[in-house]
Amino acid sequence: MAGFKFADRPLHVIADELNDGAYSCAELSEAFLDHVAAEDGKVRAFLKLDGERVLEAARAADARRAAGQALSEFDGIPIGIKDCIVAKDETCSCASKLLEHVVSPYDSTAVARLKARGFIPFGRLNMDEFAMGSSCENSAFQKTANPRDLARVPGGSSGGSAACVAASFAPAALGSDTGGSIRQPAAFCGIVGLKPTYGRVSRHGLVAFASSLDQIGPMTHDVLDAAILLDVISGHDPMDSTSLPVAAGGFADAVRNDAGSSLRGMRIGLPKEYFTGAGLAPGVARVMEENIARARELGAEVIDVSLPHTKYAVAVYYIIATAEASANLARFDGIRYGARVEGRDLVDTYFKTRGAGFGDEVKRRILLGTYVLSSGYYDAYYLRAQKVRTLIRRDFEEAFRTCDLLLTPVTPNVAFKFGEKSDPLQMYLSDIFTIALNLSGNCGISIPGGSDFETGMPVGVQLLAPALEEARLLRAADCFMRGN
């Protein structure tokens, strides 16, 4: 990235420069396209990127700006899109051979809201197939590398989105988080990743993995950018029955108005289950100690709390998530999905798709989900897991009665090397600190907290807040980042 003009530049800074006439939208997009062409051969964040489509949208944004009709201050800024969030007339493969030729006839609500403000969808970003994985090694097409160390994984499943932002291929990206799939790769790549409250952002147009857990969120260089994008994509959507009918917006103003303030008067809880016997690597433990001390320096009162049912979170998650996945993925039978083409091409596409099938990790989870839902096992596994999920949610409710936020690690270790976690069970434990938040439906954010003293790799710090308290979460996260 040496010498790249827009390296690590936040989108709010780019917006200011565009509004000041420092460069045009077309020049901005050309710079990012050239940077991707020069560097993505090593990182492999993109599955597809239609440069002409991007430039056409950028020139249209320039024309609107010249006519005094800009859609917003962000008109003409490119945003990367994870390949399970549909955009009209673009492929949406979910990094699966099964959907390789699928072209979406409509925009997801999140993408439609971005476009309404003038943001330009910038390519299709790699991911673990159907969002099932923690390393971006399960894509059917390619493995994405961590821009901080190309021998290491970027995390998953939103690994392409995290790598895109960390490599400055775009100023921000959308990811999706089912059990930590925004926060974990954000931590591995040293960027900000926000998982909103369940229902805060519409899931319409997000290809479902586990419907009661999935949530779209932003991945950015700083907290203000995350707040800006949450302002844009959040809000009730009648197309999504799980969308919350609550007021949205004002998140960026909350961060801007609180900039430079301390954490004075805030109570931050440390869940003992995330620190005692949690298998933290020494470098991660040291960064957490530094950030706990920083919280006190910034004026917060730090207290110990307990989330006693955390020890069941991984087991509960992999029962519920796989059960929902087995139902959601039943539609992908190789018959009803293919390219939007006519005649012989459609027939050829059908046979190509039928020969592809699911990858090993997807098949593993479908089989597990089918098993726990089967006759004779439903009560023993799925129903019991739902009961424990309620206990996990109550743990959070009890903790938030005594504190405003929780401070935890994001992952036990820094980004690992390719092939290092070949055992699926070891891979699943990568999400041990992120899964419970999705089960509870609350909101959380991963922010850069420091570096591992052995490898120099980024270490993420996780802040968790009650449902619908994103404003509180973002203000505190911004304060932490300014103090780091």
| Secondary structure, 3-state, the chain | CCCCCCCCCCHHHHHHHHHCCCCCHHHHHHHHHHHHHHHHHHHCCEEECCHHHHHHHHHHHHHHHHCCCCCCCCCCCEEEEECCECCCCCECCCCCHHHCCCECCCCCHHHHHHHHCCCEEEEEECCCHHHCCCCCCCCCCCCCCECCECCECCCCCCHHHHHHHHCCCCCEEEEEECCCCCHHHHHHHCCEEEECCCCCECCCCECCCCCCCCEEEEEECCHHHHHHHHHHHECCCCCCCCCCCCCCCCHHHHHHHHCCCCCCCCEEEEEHHHCCCCCCCHHHHHHHHHHHHHHHHCCCEEEEECCHHHHHHHHHHHHHHHHHHHHHHHHCCCCCCCCCCCHHHHHHHHHHHHCCCCCHHHHHHHHHHHHHHCCCCHHHHHHHHHHHHHHHHHHHHHHCCCCCEEEEECCCCCCCECCCCCCHHHHHHHHCCCHHHHHHCCEEEEEEEEECCCCCCEEEEEEEECCCCHHHHHHHHHHHHHHC
- CATH code at position 335: 3.90.1300.10
On whether residue 2 sits in a domain, the answer given is no
Mean pLDDT computed over every residue of the chain: 93
Does 27 map to a domain? yes
User: Given this model, what pLDDT does residue 287 score?
Assistant: 97
Q: Please tell me the distance from the alpha carbon of residue 53 to that of residue 303, in angstroms, as a whole number.
A: 52
Q: Residue 31: which of 61, 60, 1 has the closest Cα?
A: 1
Supply the pTM of this predicted model.
Answer: 0.95
Other beta carbons less than 10 A from residue 228's beta carbon: 25
CB atoms within 10 A of CB 355: 10
C-alpha–C-alpha distance, residues 403 and 424, integer Å: 35
Q: What is the pLDDT of residue 346?
A: 47
User: For residue 220, what are the β-bridge partners?
Assistant: 172, 192
Contact 218, 226 (CB under 8 A): yes
| Per-10-residue mean pLDDT, the chain, length 484 | 86 98 98 98 98 98 98 98 98 94 95 98 98 96 98 97 98 98 98 98 97 98 98 98 94 88 92 88 96 96 97 96 95 64 47 66 94 91 97 98 98 96 82 96 98 97 98 96 78
CB 217 within 8 A of CB 186: no
Residue 5 lies in a domain: no
Q: What is the layout of strands, in order, in the sheet containing 215-220?
A: 46-48, 120-125, 78-82, 172-177, 215-220, 192-195, 443-451, 458-465, 405-409, 267-271, 301-305
Residues serving a catalytic function are 82, 157, 181
Look at residue 1 and tell me if it is in a domain. Answer: no
Question: Do residues 270 and 407 lie in contact, with contact meaning Cβ atoms separated by under 8 Å?
Answer: yes
The per-residue pLDDT for 342 is 45
The answer to the question of residue 208 being in a domain is: yes
Q: Which domain holds residue 457?
A: 11-483
pLDDT tens for each residue of 427-475: 888 899 999 999 999 999 999 999 999 999 999 999 999 999 999 999 9
What is the total residue count of the chain? 484
Q: What is the pLDDT of residue 276?
A: 86
Q: What is the pLDDT of residue 36?
A: 98
Round the CA-based radius of gyration of the chain to a whole number and report it.
21
pLDDT of residue 430: 83
The angle formed by the CA atoms of residues 390, 394 and 395, to the nearest 5 degrees, is 120
d(CA 44, CA 55): 21
Residue 92: both structure tokens together: 């949406």
Beta strands 46-48 and 172-177: pairing type?
A: unpaired
| Cα–Cα dist 458/429, whole Å | 19
Total count of domains within the chain: 1
d(CA 51, CA 347): 29
Domain annotation covers residue 144: yes
